[in-house]
């Protein structure tokens, strides 16, 4: 079965620093979703990548999809305390669009 | 537009009891999915409903069931609760055609 591995598991950065989170799939990626979660709350949709080489940006967050490497990266520029949370990548498992497999998440802390 | 609404927000139940959780999707969304989130297993897919029909089901025992009503609202039921059912239960809705899932804030279920 497909698995998504995220790295690092946790990250502590100083405010203003850049950072990258990776998500690697054990199988071919047909679509990759990035979500952010505050502890104990729901997931907030960040970006969806569907094609190899696709890159999307929203405010200071950029995500890329490398189909050949079966990997996606999420890059945050000039991090702020508001970026703190758990970042999760999800991929279509197949069968229907509501059935996603998720990575275990990357916990990001930003020190002011 | 209102987001996905889940009720109740918190629940405390005793082993052996049953529980019903409710989810109201974003207006116009006909697909509703349910996920269980635990520290050990992460996010795991329970089932997906579309137009009142279960479209997909995850690997959970028959104690977990759900349904969807004609207005797309959904409920999930867990019977004969076990301690291991303690988790954050998340509902997500989406439009058709590969659109991303939008999650509610979840119901935190504690089984004692």
Tokens representing A22 are: 């990776």
Residue A94 reports pLDDT greater than 90: no
**Which residue in B has a C-alpha nearest to residue A30's C-alpha?**
B98
A16-20, A28-32, A108-112, B52-56: the lowest-pLDDT one: A28-32
% of chain B exceeding 90 in pLDDT: 93
User: What are the chain B neighbours of A95 within 8 Å (beta carbons)?
Assistant: 55-56
Which residues is A56 bridged to in the sheet?
A63
Computed on alpha carbons and rounded to an integer, the radius of gyration of chain A in Å comes to 13
pLDDT, tens digit (0-9, with 9 covering 90-100), for B77-110 = 999 999 999 999 999 999 977 789 999 999 999 9
User: What are the chain A neighbours of B96 within 8 Å (beta carbons)?
Assistant: 97
Residue B4 reports pLDDT greater than 80: yes
Average pLDDT over residues A101-111: 96
Q: How far apart are CA A86 and CA B50, in angstroms?
A: 29
Q: How far is B44 from chain A (nearest CA, A)?
A: 7
Please report, to the nearest 10 degrees, the dihedral formed by the alpha carbons of residues B41, B44, B46, B52 taken in order.
160
Q: How far is B42 from chain A (nearest CA, A)?
A: 6
What local confidence, expressed as pLDDT, does residue A2 receive?
Answer: 67
**Which residue in B has a C-alpha nearest to residue A47's C-alpha?**
B100
Residue A95 reports pLDDT greater than 70: no
Residue A27 reports pLDDT greater than 90: no
**Which residue in B has a C-alpha nearest to residue A33's C-alpha?**
B100
> Within 13 Å, how many C-alpha atoms sit on residue B12's CB side?
1
pLDDT, tens digit (0-9, with 9 covering 90-100), for A48-65 = 998 778 899 988 999 999
User: What are the chain B neighbours of A101 within 8 Å (beta carbons)?
Assistant: 45
């Amino acid at each position: 079965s497909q698995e998504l591995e995220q790295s690092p598991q946790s990250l502590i950065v100083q405010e203003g620093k850049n950072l990258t989170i990776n998500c690697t799939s054990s199988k071919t990626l047909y679509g990759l979703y990035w979500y952010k979660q505050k502890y104990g709350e729901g997931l907030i949709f960040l970006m969806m990548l569907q094609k190899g080489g696709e890159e999307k940006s929203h405010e200071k967050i950029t995500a890329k999809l490398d189909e050949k490497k079966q990997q996606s990266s999420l890059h945050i520029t000039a991090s702020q305390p508001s970026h703190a949370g758990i970042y999760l990548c999800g991929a279509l498992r197949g069968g229907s669009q509501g059935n996603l497999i998720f990575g275990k998440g990357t916990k990001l802390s930003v020190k002011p | 537009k209102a987001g996905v609404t889940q009720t109740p927000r918190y629940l405390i139940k005793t082993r052996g009891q049953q529980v019903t959780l409710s989810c109201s999707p974003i207006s116009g969304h006909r697909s509703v999915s349910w996920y269980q989130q635990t520290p050990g297993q992460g996010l795991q897919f329970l089932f997906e409903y579309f137009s009142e029909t279960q479209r997909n089901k995850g690997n959970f025992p028959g104690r977990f069931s759900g349904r969807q009503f004609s207005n797309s609202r959904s409920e999930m039921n867990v019977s004969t609760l076990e301690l291991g059912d303690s988790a954050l239960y998340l509902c997500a809705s989406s439009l058709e055609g590969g659109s991303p899932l939008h999650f509610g804030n979840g119901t935190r279920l504690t089984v004692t």
